[in-house]
Structure 1
Amino acid sequence: MRRNNKLGWLFTSPYLIFTLIFFLLPLLWSFWLALTDWDMISPTINFVGVQNFMTAVKSPAVQSAFLVTYKFLLVFVPLALVLSMVIALLVNSLPKFKGLFMVAFFLPYLSSGVVTSLIVKGLLSYNGPFNIFLRNTFGLDIDWLGDPKVAIFIVSLMIAWKMSGYYGLILISGLSNINHEIYEAAAIDGASRWTIFWKITFPMMYPAFFTVTVLAVGVSFGIFTEVYQLTGGGPNFSTNTWQMEIYNQAFVGLKSGYASSIALLSSVVTFASIGVIRKLLEKWGEKNGWS
């Protein structure tokens, strides 16, 4: 028995060491930095207590980043869920080559966020092919990334496109677990496709839908690369997320202690938000027979 325990610890040791070095130690260092005013240059570190947290809570920039992050959540999560659901239903309805099409939809997830952002930025630029086509054909001149509302939608749509194949793969696993006899019984009773989807398919996909929703919410609180490349947090800070504000304070303003306090506050808000959404999803699941 002791030998088996030693083998278990031996096999799990790489993961435990990785977690210790790249998660626990940085987390503890972040807690310490949040209590100081270190600028990453000075050899001395001054202890300031909870002053950074108090300043962050009262900061208009931090409050704005808080609201912007939730705006992304409200736009990105529905887009990602709808796109992934459409992909899952389309691929699942194919008679052949389901795996091939699913791999094709999954490929954007493997692409670099930096490269994707640069391509989108080039396409939507003033002299980009899309704007040239709109000007020459319809006389339209749209500043896609210069309008606050449009910029949030563009960034959210791009991330949803990137993630929908991965989420669709999870939803397909949920679809494959539904007993087809239920569909046959519903068809005999004269149920329409719309009724079958909302009354049978969607409720029975609850475990997969729950997983995808929680993952999408987590992504919406970690948006950085796409915003950094496309808008830099603009226009007028309309896309300045938590992550952008942390980056600006740490590496532009050289306020590592203050940035650490913002990061810790954002992590608390993230976990709390995911917890609330999980509870809502669990209640919805209980109403549909999932416990």
Structure 2
Amino acid sequence: MNNKLGWFFTSPYIIFTVIFFLLPLAWSLWLALTDWDMMSPNVNFVGIENFIDAFNSPAIRASFFVTYKFLFIFVPMALILSLTIALLVNSLPKFKGLYLVGFFLPYLSSGVVTSLVVNGLLSYNGALNTFLRDRFGVNIDWLGNPTTALLIVSFMIAWKMSGYYALILNSGLSSINKEIYEAAAIDGASGFTAFRKITIPMLYPALYTVIVMAVGVSFGIFTEVYQLTGGGPNYATNTWQMEIYNQAFVNLESGYASAIALVAAVVTFLSIGVIKKVLEKWGESNGWS
């Protein structure tokens, strides 16, 4: 009876997993072994040819490197922004919840709408370039330069996510016993020393969560790139997601796109696993196990 009751209560999750995860995964595996273009009634089995083509494609390798560029730019940027917000809000005497909600609001905004606002702001006739031309006589092609395009997309996503991450970090800060700081102050520890030796190590569970979540976001960047740069300039922002979209819906090579998606999923899983191991080693060195 207890087993039946347990299966009954877990059945919604099991059904959800089967319909929205296992069946699409099986479909994707089958599709990756074909050359179907999503339009022709004929489906040809090509085996692992799509995977071989993906591994040998310079465009796919380039998109992998772009994704890792976003990883190494976005994650530190989001971590610094969210930690700064959490520390500032945690130091306030009152209305902490109100300020946290204010910083959280960008997370609720649509990525499409945010991208359109940023695109309008940074366009040739946008407010920023108009101001720079009128005051300093310069005009910057923000989204036409590979370096600035990467930075702008990364900063926009970091701005969007930092309020959400700050909620997690603020919860971690609130759980740190204030007596520890008082004892450190008595021993002559400066504010920076207390932050480095107490706050960061004690904040490990929240930092672990935020970093892993941010890494996951960096591997799934699509909307902002699609709206702002389309993967340009010169494929400088062409992420895995953009390449999968282009192959599936522009080139109509759904089998090839599915193979790329599966390879990207495996690489993402392995990358997150490595980062988690590094974070766990750091946590163990600070007394977390």
Same fold per superposition (TM over 0.5) = yes
Gaps of 5+ in 1: none
Partner secondary structure for residue 94 of structure 1 = coil
One of 248, 251, 254 as aligned partner of 1:250: 248
Residue 131 of structure 2 corresponds to 133
User: Do residues 263 (structure 1) and 280 (structure 2) align?
Assistant: no
- 2:260 maps to a residue whose letter is I
Name the structure 2 match of 1:116.
114
Q: Percent identity?
A: 76
Q: CA deviation at 1:12?
A: 2.3
Give the match for residue 236 of structure 1. Answer: 234
User: Which whole-Å deviations, capped at 9, do the CAs of 1:185-224 have from their partners, x for residues lacking one?
Assistant: 0111111110000000001000000000000000000000
Other-structure match for 1:278 = 276
Deviations along 1:164-200, whole A, 9 cap, x unmatched? Answer: 0010100011111111110000111111110000000
**In structure 2, C-alpha distance between the alignment counterparts of 1:66 and 1:58, rounded to whole Å:** 13
Counterpart of 2:35 (choices 19, 23, 37) is 37
* CA-to-aligned-CA distance 1:99-120 (integer Å, 9 cap, x gap): 0000111111111000000000
What secondary structure is seen at the aligned counterpart in 2 of 1:46? coil
Measure how far apart 1:6 and its partner are.
Answer: 2.5
**Aligned twin of 1:21:** 19
Trace 1:158-177 onto structure 2 (pairs within 5 A): 158-177=156-175
Task: Output the CA distance in 2 between the equivalents of 1:181 and 1:140.
Answer: 53
- Coordinate RMSD, CA, aligned: 0.7
d(CA) in 2 for partners of 1:140, 1:281: 44
Q: Which residue of 2 is the match for residue 60 of structure 1?
A: 58
Q: Which runs of 5+ in 2 are unaligned?
A: none
C-alpha separation between the residues in 2 aligned to 1:236 and 1:100? 43
**Residue 180 of structure 2 is aligned to residue 202 of structure 1:** no
Offset of residue 20 of structure 1: 1.0
Q: What's the secondary structure of 1:63's corresponding residue?
A: helix
One-letter code of the match for 2:157?
Answer: I
Distance, in Å, in 1 between the alignment partners of 2:163 and 2:71 is 19
Q: Residues 223-281 of structure 1, C-alpha deviation per residue, up to 9 Å, x if partnerless?
A: 00000000000000000000000000000000000000000000010001001111111
2: distance between equivalents of 1:234 and 1:81? Answer: 26
Q: Deviations over 1:29-53 (max 9, x none)?
A: 0000000000001111110000000
What do residues 111-156 of structure 1 show as CA deviations (whole Å, max 9, x unaligned)? Answer: 1000000000000000001110111112120000000000000000
Matches within 5 A, 1:69-148: 69-148=67-146
> Which residue number corresponds to residue 221 of structure 1?
219
- Structure 2 Cα separation of the partners of residues 219 and 250 of structure 1: 22
